[in-house]
Amino acid sequence: MIEYSLISAIVKQGDIFSTVRDILTPEDFSWSPFKKLWKTFQELDNNGIFIDSVTLNAEFEKSNLGEKIVVEGGLRGREAIEYLKNYETEVDKFESYALQIKEISATRKLETLLNEAKDKLKEGKTPNEIIALLEVESSRIATISMGSSSSISTAEDAVEEAYRITMQAINGDIKYVPSGFSDFDKRFAGFFKGRVYLIVGISGEGKSALAASIANNVAIGAKFPKKVGIFPLEMSKREYVNRLISQISGIDTKRLDTGIREDEYETTIPTLRAKIRKMVDLGVELIIIDQLEQIEVPGNQQEYIKLNYATYMIKAMAREFDVPILLIHQLKVRSENQKSKDSDPVMSDISQAGEKAVNMVIAIKHKKDDEGEIINSYIYILKNRDGRTGDVINLKFEGERVLFRNIDSTRGESPSWIN
């Protein structure tokens, strides 16, 4: 049962509730005890209390709610929570569960509305009166876009939002951050707020270099520079800053390396969220996380489940803070397609690599000569929830600077920030 699956997932891993709390209301649940339990989740979350079996049982004791929470087999209170904690569910599918519950709820409401219309017809109401009733009541049934867990709205709200965004574009108040790569921006405008972009590839293909090049383009090279927040999880802050300096100055990163290494620390979803919030408060308009697999996810699940969970959480942050997030992910194993020297990247290369939640997947490929020197570099748009896929964009890669730049000199091959 879908409702059991979602409730169990939240009891097992309470921090996922913040992602789905805006999708559902207590009335969306068909099972009365789950309506009450959802209200309890909301109260705990509003008070900043982590949701788990301990805090739920404490809440039951305080409010005498436990006897009203009944699950299969007539289990109540603590026994009910223990049952939910051990219920077999796939935690990484929690958002899908919530969306299904919302859809089922909307269907129930529509069925009720249609039955009311039939009753009105039997009472002798005219067709025009019934149509008016349907129009008014159906507009109150919340609908949800499958692409966004925070986009619950009536049809009227959706039209107003579309009009607002259109007027912003007309007035030049853009909702995206240009990448600084002319071909990419011409085709996709840039990185849109509330969306997540995933750069993938095997080790040594230049994923971090591409992200750093974008950071310099946005923060220094843009006509209207914007602040960029960077989480260099794979290397120390010193190393990452050296890479940025090398791109600008042309000085080899080895000459900049001072040998200083910072203490390693774990980056969890809650700490990541707290830091992104601070960055956005400071005016940051683009977030870069390098790398996805360095984020600590609790539990002993398989790697792909952890990656999917992390990307769903990061997508929720992008929506919550209305900022684009650029994720870097290193593929650990070459697919059969990647083993072929001349093959182009395809989506099957990144199966189970956290790609489900993101809006766009970008892969890097270099064309090399017989001596292994890079001749041309390309980025492939393998997935795009918000537009076309399959685009290939040619960029120039400079190994000495670990830098990507535009290939066409007529469109600014040398950005103004490069010395």
pLDDT in tens, 374-400: 888 999 999 998 888 899 999 999 888
Q: Is the domain of 378 the same as that of 230?
A: yes
Q: Is the domain of 248 the same as that of 298?
A: yes
Residue-level pLDDT at 412: 47
Residue-level pLDDT at 222: 80
Q: How far is CA 8 from the centre of its chain?
A: 22
Q: Is the domain of 187 the same as that of 324?
A: yes
Residue 4 lies in a domain: yes
Where a domain ends, among 94, 114, 139?
139
Q: Is the domain of 227 the same as that of 114?
A: no
Residue-level pLDDT at 68: 74
Q: Is the domain of 254 the same as that of 182?
A: yes
pLDDT digits (tens, 9 = 90+) for 101-123: 988 888 888 888 788 878 887 88
The model's confidence at residue 18, banded by pLDDT at 50, 70 and 90, is confident
Where a domain ends, among 80, 113, 139?
139
**Exposed e or buried b per residue across 108-145, where buried means at least 16 C-beta atoms within 10 angstroms of its C-beta:** ebeeeeeeebeeeeeeeeeeeebeeebeeebeebbebe
Residue 89 lies in a domain: yes
Q: Structurally, how many domains does the chain consist of?
A: 2
Residue 384 lies in a domain: yes
- Residue 350's nearest CA partner among 406, 283, 304 is 304
Q: Is the domain of 186 the same as that of 262?
A: yes
Residue-level pLDDT at 408: 65
Residue-level pLDDT at 37: 92
Residue 6 lies in a domain: yes
Q: Is the domain of 209 the same as that of 74?
A: no
Q: Is the domain of 183 the same as that of 124?
A: no
Q: Is the pTM of this model over 0.75?
A: no
CATH number of domain containing 22: 1.10.860.10
Mean pLDDT over each residue of the chain, to the nearest integer: 81
Residue 45 lies in a domain: yes
The model's confidence at residue 64, banded by pLDDT at 50, 70 and 90, is confident
CA distance 62 to 39: 15
Residue 154 lies in a domain: no
What angle do helix axes 2-12 and 32-46 make, rounded to 10 degrees?
A: 30
CA distance 334 to 201: 9
Q: Is the domain of 283 the same as that of 339?
A: yes
Residue-level pLDDT at 134: 66
Q: What mean pLDDT do residues 166-185 have?
A: 78
Residue 166 lies in a domain: no
CA distance 190 to 186: 8
Q: Is the domain of 132 the same as that of 191?
A: no
Where a domain ends, among 122, 139, 156?
139
Residue 94 lies in a domain: yes
412 near 222, Cβ under 8 Å? no
pLDDT digits (tens, 9 = 90+) for 324-339: 999 999 886 555 455 5
Would you give the DSSP letter of residue 221? I
Q: Is the domain of 379 the same as that of 251?
A: yes
CA distance 135 to 335: 53
Q: Is the domain of 113 the same as that of 217?
A: no
Residue-level pLDDT at 60: 84
> At residue 360, does pLDDT exceed 90?
yes
pLDDT digits (tens, 9 = 90+) for 274-314: 889 999 999 999 999 998 988 988 777 788 888 888 898 89
Residue-level pLDDT at 404: 93
What percent of the chain has a predicted confidence (pLDDT) above 70?
A: 79
CA distance 255 to 378: 28
Residue range(s) defining the domain that contains residue 64: 1-139
Residue-level pLDDT at 341: 60
CATH number of domain containing 347: 3.40.50.300
> At residue 11, does pLDDT exceed 80?
yes
Bond preceding residue 291 cis, omega within 30 of 0: yes
347 near 355, Cβ under 8 Å? yes
